[in-house]
Amino acid sequence: MSGFVFGEKPIQIESGEGPYVYDDGGTEYLDMGASYACAPVGHCHPDVVEAVESQASDLLFVQGSYPTETRTALYDRLGDLAPGELDNVWLCNSGTEANEAALKFARHATGREKVVAAKRAFHGRTLGSLAATWKQKYREGFAVPDNVEFVDYGDSEALADAVDDETAAVILEPVQGEGGVHPAPDGYLQAARDACDETGAALVFDEIQTGLGRTGSLWACEQAGVAPDALTVAKGLGSGLPIGATLVADWLAEDSGDHGSTFSGGPVPCAAALATLDVLEDDGLAANAASVGDYLQDQLAELPVRDVRGEGLMVGVEVKRGANRALKSLALNHRILALPAGRTVVRLLPPLTVTESHADRVVDALAEEL
């Protein structure tokens, strides 16, 4: 039987622990992609495993209209951790659903339809999120809605010109991920905040890849001192279990329209999320991401590469011969797993528990291959 959603790689993963995964022959790989940033506290962290096992033995699932202690605790926790005044929490199952909800809430609350997004952006694959995703290959053949205006990422003037009285939302990644790991220039997120304030549009920050400490603070937007009207988070929130969240300000929550999901806030993913947040905070992993990330980028900058960019442990290395060749060599020759971000960028999104010695291993391997 063959799969049809993903092209499978020739490594069958059987287990994981900390920053490592192991194939069916017992070979150890350093996971510098954390499975698309879904393992921020490392694979199979014992606290997360214990929380999942405990919750699963009590209650696997109950629909969202019945309160559960675990779901309520996660609502409160995310509201407390959110930047600004984003006290309202909608739980879902993935990042694209979180972005879909944010765009729906903004359109209902404003009574408008237009969305402003950035070139190179990636926000998901459901139709609303896909409409705000730039790359044409993801959009072809799906009759994607056309009420999104794309502007150059980092161009504050172009953004301000695009946001008008017909705009429901501006959606931005504080650091673009799939688009090549591009951090927002100084002042850009504030310019987006100003444009939304002037027109009444909702500012949405997609922190699905940048959130949860990856860039050196719990939320990447905190480093710019800018709070959005909605923030989306997923990927590592449940340490790999399917869960996402849309955090929204009161004015959006009060007129958000009718939205629902069968599996919203399932007890087991909520338990995993609470345990993940505990580990992130208790072990100071955002600070570790900042320090190890700075060290890693400094070392990578000494290599014969076109560019090194990113924030914390969200790092892009632009190579001269193409990313796929480098990724294959890293995996087969050095037992290091990483990710692409376009054709020329090797993307590093490791567990936030990695150390400088792990960074040295990656730099040495890249130096040999490049």
Residues annotated within a binding site for pyridoxal 5'-phosphate = 95-96, 122, 206-209, 262
Binding-site residues from annotation = 95-96, 122, 125, 206-209, 261-262
Q: Residues annotated in the binding site for substrate, as ranges?
A: 125, 261
- For the chain, the three-class secondary structure string (H helix, E strand, C coil) is CCCCCCCCCCCCEEEEEECEEEECCCCEEEECCHHHHCCCCCECCHHHHHHHHHHHHHCCCCCCCCCCHHHHHHHHHHHHHCCCCCCEEEEECCHHHHHHHHHHHHHHHHCCCEEEEECCCCCCCCHHHHHCCCCHHHHCCCCCCCCEEEECCCCHHHHHHHCCCCEEEEEECCEECCCCCEECCCCHHHHHHHHHHHHCCEEEEECCCCCCCCCCCCCCHHHHCCCCCEEEECHHHHCCCCCEEEEECHHHHCCCCCCCCCCCCCHHHHHHHHHHHHHHHHCCHHHHHHHHHHHHHHHHCCCCCCEEEEECCEEEEECCCCHHHHHHHHHHHHCEECEECCCCEEEECCCCCCCHHHHHHHHHHHHHHC
